[in-house]
Structure 1
Amino acid sequence: MAGADRSEIERPVSGNQYPAGWGSDAVAEVLRDLDVEYIAMVPGASYRGLQDSLVNFLGNQRPQMLVCLHEEHSVAIAHGYAKVAGRAMAAGLHSNVGLMHASMAIFNAYCDRVPVLMLGATGPVDAMQRRPWIDWIHTSRDQGALVRPYVKWDDQPASPAAAVESVLRAWQLIHAAPNGPAYICLDVADQERALDAPLAIPDVSKFRPAPAPVASPTDVAAAAALLTSASKPVILAGRASRSPEVWSAKIALAEALGARVITDMKTGASFPNQHPLHVGGASQFLSADQKAVLAEADVVLSLDWIDLMGSLRQSLPSGAPFPKIVNATLDDHMVNGWNYDHFAVPPADVRLSCAADVAVELLCQELAITARSEATVSPEPASPAGDTLDLAFLAKSLAVAAHGHTTTYIRFPLGWASEVIPFDEPLSYLGGDGGAGIGSGPGLAVGAALALEGLKRLPIAVLGDGDFIMGASAIWTAAHYRIPLLVIVSNNQSYFNDETHQENMAIARGRPVENRWIGQRLDQPPVDISALARSFGAQSPAPVTETAELQGALAKAVEAVENGALYVLDVRVRAGYASAMPATNDET
């Protein structure tokens, strides 16, 4: 599906004709040389110099500015873009206030191990240059301290030349495994400083990211020996790139070992979910079938699995011995003392200090396994039956509507029935947001759809109503820049996950479960999601409330997006989950 030609959107009257004469021109020039395609931003006076450089020096091309309505969306769009493209775009954050707005989205990108280049700014560091009032409240000492625990690196350069070096260093770091965001704070005075002569921008090809680390041959041989001696090997297929070659190699490795494979919904598609070796439907938490298979394993290959120790504890009886474990990950390079996204320390008999993709390739080489490249043909999905419009019915109906289209599912809500949607290639599904908050879905969907343009794929995001409502204004950016996207809102009119928590609390304390809904429901009045979406420029019909309406509504939505539309479909579903969710916090 081809994307829109947006070269005429917000085209400068007379851009790209002035010599580099200002500090911010140097920053813009290095962004162009790095081939940064877009910068998503909310306009702000703290980087007015950079904005002028992007428009009047570069002509608003590579990078092109994408106007957003909230800084959290700016970073979320860059996050979604990187999940598809495998490389960063930029996000602009206005001063300390914009950085505070964006902080949740930055945390998401960090937890999701995704590269984002964030360019912020501060009022003049020199107090004598500050305007009354506004420059004082928008200037902070050590602004990067606001997000330092959840970025790979931050800097506040003190000259235009130093700013160029900062951008080059940040670009290296965010694209070195494991990936993550970086934040650069530009002094407004340095941006607006007149240059005596244009700065010489270094050859950016000499500042490429470091190559991915490779595990030692001794460790690879030890891992291969353990796996080939196993009678019940299990592969935990976690974080992975969108590489089709590694996808094929992973299938070949599992087949050669006879290993059962478990995936989850927090990461993107990492193994075909309808392959005979795949166990159950992927979800946020292990299903009963997955726990049983993991409990019987004698050797486990963990490929950058999120919370390995938590999964082992869920599956093994208390006091039971662990299976032999081969753990391939670089995630311990991101451990710090602020957040616990490193999870409990897992045991390992062999540690492969490399990314999961590299581990798959090394193991295939060691075992002389050749990947086969075979096209997967998904069977015709069966139309759902019944009169209950719930998550399971929505999933089955969507499988029918999308069949025959090359589809990328960007997001799914909690409790989604993933097993009915075929994940048969790396771009089939992009995974969660990393930080597991609310409100990231629309921005991530817009960014992913932007990066999917030209790949002839149908971008679909199924979002919960709370997630959509909180981040809905990100939809305007997609409308303004003509980005095709289908957003389906699974609307149970509740923060339902918290209803289940309140029910569990009531049961544990012997109190009435009938009160679980209080403080959780999104009704009286219900949010008019269709009207909200239309107000931001999307096509959005009346809500679907009956099972008989759904198939036709989905077919119409798919057709509209295939023709280049931005489309939001509100589907009123019964509250409940279709896949494994924990009964209490003890099971997470």
Structure 2
Amino acid sequence: MDHQGTKRFVPVETGTPRYGSDLIAAAIREQGFPYICLNPGASYRHLHDSLVNYLGNEKPKIILCMHEEHAIGIAQGWAKIMDRPLAAAVHSNVGLMHATMGIFDAWCDRVPVVVIGATGPLDATKRRPWIEWIHCTIDQGGLVRDFTKWDDQPGSPEAAVESIRRAAMLATARPSGPTYVNLDVTVQEMELEKLPALHDISRFRAPADPEPPRRDLEEAIEILASAKRPIILCGRTSRSEEGWAARVKLAELLGAKVLAHVKLATSFPTTHPLFIGETGWKLSKNLLKHLIEADAVLSLDWLDLAGTINQVFPAGSPSAPIISVSNDYNIHRGWNMDYQALPAVDVNLPTVPETAVLRLLEALETRMPAPKTYQRRRLDAEPSESSGPISLLDLAKVFNKVTRDIDVCLTSRPLGWPTNANELEHPHDYLGHNGGGGVGSGPSIGIGAALALRDMKSPRVPIAIVGDGDFTMGNTALWSAASQGIPLLYVISNNNSYFNDEHHQAQVATQRGRPPENAWVGQRLQDPVPDLLMLAKAQGIDGEGPITDIADLAPALARGIETVKAGKPWVVDVRVPPEYCREPMVELA
């Protein structure tokens, strides 16, 4: 302990595993997880000891979190950059119940996370009075089974090694998702009589993505080769730069217009002339016109394909041929409807976009004329005013102006953010929505992404644009960023309201002939107005705000970016009115 009372780590000597938890810790290390995000708990106290005093708190290093949901969110954000899972640990049934929203977000986002849980002794004679009885749950995995790819409760340390190997493999295989391994305290504390013989970890890699069936691939090739006005719906894709380049090449070869989804990570450059815009669930008149005129639609694992296509080609009406590239059906369940409506398609290619695009390119490059050359298109949107209140559209315009020549990573954007508002030219430029709509996840997902970018030594500046509701629910996650020195800029789009619900209440009141002016009741964060900057400072992160005049916004954002470049996290609180942007920031041709 130093003169300030700070604890110092006592060096440890690692050697042969002596306990079940030592062997389990070694199994976690062999997966290559650099970190394990956790909120501590007695149910995995033996594993915690092994992580610290057997592994030396290295590979994985513990990322201490103030809430289990933050632990899952940080792991989710890290995986959204890395395309591979990170480990998180949660305490027994109580910690798992806290973590369920984060796990559901990762599930809907199709992001790999390996969650380690624990339970008191299954053998009732070994339970400590009271506490280990309430921390015992028969079939604990049942709490999350409907939104995880797989779960297990191994009965021995050796079985736990296999469970962790399977959990990592299945989480990684696409469509990716969270997995859960529940460890009995008895298994963790067991003294090992001998080390089990184990196969080498290299023999347990995730299986390769499947190849598309030849007959269906050939049908898709014929449709695209003859199309004059094809459109590509760029959906769930990896963060691979090679996959990104291949999608651009295919679009240029076909002369295909490209559409992206606001809920998904960026998958095509928004500055490319073939890019026609971002959309949410409802197509704008401009995008609807493009799709109606299309004579072929290639869906690359689009989010809610039926919801989009049915707006264009209603049931019973003529339809352009629809080619669907997706193997998402492999994990569809009956508990939740995150799989969306059943799309009517003409060709199914049951694989991932990267594999399908490569096979289409191989066939089409010999049949199609050389593509034309395209010039980069820049966004040009100036704020309408130089001073005065800041609208949400003003925030988007100023943010674009300040960052247009800086490599940034948007880890999140708030609800109501205008479409076509950001120049996205790299797989890490925008990481999409949280997946399951869990308010409070934005702060922790941003930390995980920033941690991954720091470890990659990326020059990209991570920025989380979060709503005030998202920030207030998840603000204690900031302590983990402060404690680990993770540089990240939070820009709070602060309208002092749970505005999504305020908007719904206004609509309901109007439909019922009642005063929509009362929609604010039970929605506004007023009397008193929360001091969000003080909430950040309480977690060890400084910042500035509230910014209320548009004249002050650009300098504040620039200062925040420079602070993050210098290696520190920072917060900028921006006051905006309760509103959504109804129109694109820029209407694309």
Aligned twin of 1:391: 392
- For 2:293 and 2:12, the matched residues in 1 are separated by 65
How much does 1:547 deviate? 0.8
3-state SS of paired residue (2:543):
coil
Task: Label 1:120 to 1:243 Cα distance change in 2 as closer, same or farther (>3 A).
Answer: same
Structure 2 residue aligned with 1:520? 523
Aligned residue number for residue 438 of structure 1 = 439
Contact 2:44/2:185 (8 A) holds in 1: yes
Give the alignment of 1:449-488 within 5 angstroms.
449-453=450-454, 454-488=457-491
The aligned residue for residue 118 of structure 2 is 121
Distance in 2 separating the partners of 1:178 and 1:198: 35
CA contact (8 A) 2:272 2:377 kept: no
- C-alpha distance in structure 2 between counterparts of 1:324 and 1:420, whole Å: 31
- What is the aligned partner in structure 2 of residue 5 from structure 1? none
Distance in 1 (CA, whole Å) between partners of 2:374 and 2:37 is 36
- Summarize deviations over 1:237-292 as a string: whole Å, max 9, x none: 00011111111111111111121111011110011112111113444643222222
Greater mean deviation of Cα atoms: 248-257 or 478-487: 248-257
What is aligned with 1:509?
A: 512
Deviation at 1:15, TM superposition (A): 2.2
Task: Please give the residue correspondences for 1:136-175 in structure 2 after superposition, counting only pairs within 5 Å.
Answer: 136-175=133-172
SS state at 1:225 partner: helix
Are 2:107 and 1:107 equivalent residues in the alignment? no
Paired residues of 1:531 and 1:540 also in contact (CA < 8 A):
no
Tell me which amino acid in the other structure corresponds to 1:511: R
Q: Distance in 2 between matches of 1:148 and 1:155?
A: 10
Letter in 2 for 1:26: L
The one of 358, 363, 368 aligned to 1:366: 363
Contact 1:261 1:278 in 2 (8 A): yes
Q: What is the DSSP-based 3-state SS (H/G/I as helix, E as strand, rest coil) of the residue aligned with 1:302?
A: strand
Pairing partner for 2:294 from 275, 293, 297: 297
Match 1:557 to one of 555, 560, 572: 560
Q: Deviations over 1:108-133 (max 9, x none)?
A: 11111110000000001110110111
SS at match of 2:428: helix
**Contact 2:277 2:419 survives alignment (8 Å):** no
Q: Any stretches of 5+ residues in structure 2 without a counterpart? A: 1-5, 585-589
What are the residue-to-residue correspondences of 1:179-578 with 2, within 5 Å?
179-283=176-280, 285-316=282-313, 319-368=316-365, 379=378, 383-386=382-385, 387-453=388-454, 454-578=457-581
**Is the contact made by 1:395 and 1:420 (CA closer than 8 Å) also made in structure 2?**
yes
Question: Which of 496-505 and 460-469 deviates more?
Answer: 496-505
**Cα distance in 1, alignment partners of residues 442 and 508 from structure 2:** 28
Change (3 A) 1:382 1:325: closer
Letter in 1 for 2:519: R
Q: How many angstroms does 1:217 deviate by? A: 2.1
Q: Helix, strand or coil for the counterpart of 1:262?
A: strand
Residue 4 (structure 1) aligns with:
none
* In structure 1, C-alpha distance between the alignment counterparts of 2:252 and 2:326, rounded to whole Å: 22
* Secondary structure in structure 1 of the residue aligned to 2:266: coil
For structure 1, which segment, 534-543 or 287-296, has the greater mean C-alpha deviation from structure 2 after superposition?
287-296
User: 1 CA distance for matches of 2:102 and 2:513?
Assistant: 38
Identity %: 47
Aligned length: 572
TM-score by length of 1: 0.94
Counterpart Cα distance in 2 of 1:285 and 1:239: 18
d(CA) in 1 for partners of 2:402, 2:71? 31
Letter in 1 for 2:340: F
Structure 1 residue 189: deviation in Å? 0.9
Asked if structure 1 preserves the Cα contact closer than 8 Å seen for 2:411 and 2:430, the reply is: yes
Q: Quote the offset at 1:463 in angstroms.
A: 0.5
Structure 2 vs 1, CA of residues 272 and 201 (structure 1 numbering), >3 Å: closer, same or farther? Answer: same
CA apart distance, 1:376: 8.6
- Give the 3-state SS of the residue equivalent to 1:507 in structure 2: helix
Give the equivalent residue in structure 1 for 2:587: none
Residue 88 of structure 1 deviates from its aligned partner by: 0.8
Structure 1's 275 and 333: CA in aligned 2 closer, same or farther, altered over 3 A? same
Q: Give structure 1 stretches of 5+ with no counterpart.
A: 1-8, 582-588
CA contact (8 A) 1:281 1:417 kept: no
Deviates more, 1:119-128 or 1:268-277: 268-277
Tell me the distance in 2 between the aligned counterparts of 1:451 and 1:71.
19
Q: Which residue of 1 aligns with 2:39?
A: 42
Mapped to 2, the partners of 1:378 and 1:12 lie a distance apart of: 53
Q: Secondary structure at the match of 2:547?
A: coil
The alpha carbon displacement at 1:396 in A equals: 1.2
What is residue 21 of structure 2 aligned with on the other side? 24
**1:155/1:485 CA distance change after superposition, 3 Å:** same
Q: State the Cα RMSD in Å.
A: 2.0
Tell me by how many angstroms 1:504 deviates: 1.2
The Cα shift of 1:425 comes to: 1.2
Counterpart amino acid of residue 416 in structure 1: W
Distance in 1 separating the partners of 2:348 and 2:571: 45
Moved more, 418-427 or 549-558: 418-427
Are the counterparts in 2 of residues 441 and 467 from structure 1 also a CA contact under 8 Å?
A: yes
Measured at CA, do residues 54 and 126 of structure 1 come closer, stay the same or move farther in structure 2, by a change above 3 Å? same
Distance 2:198 2:339 in 1: 38
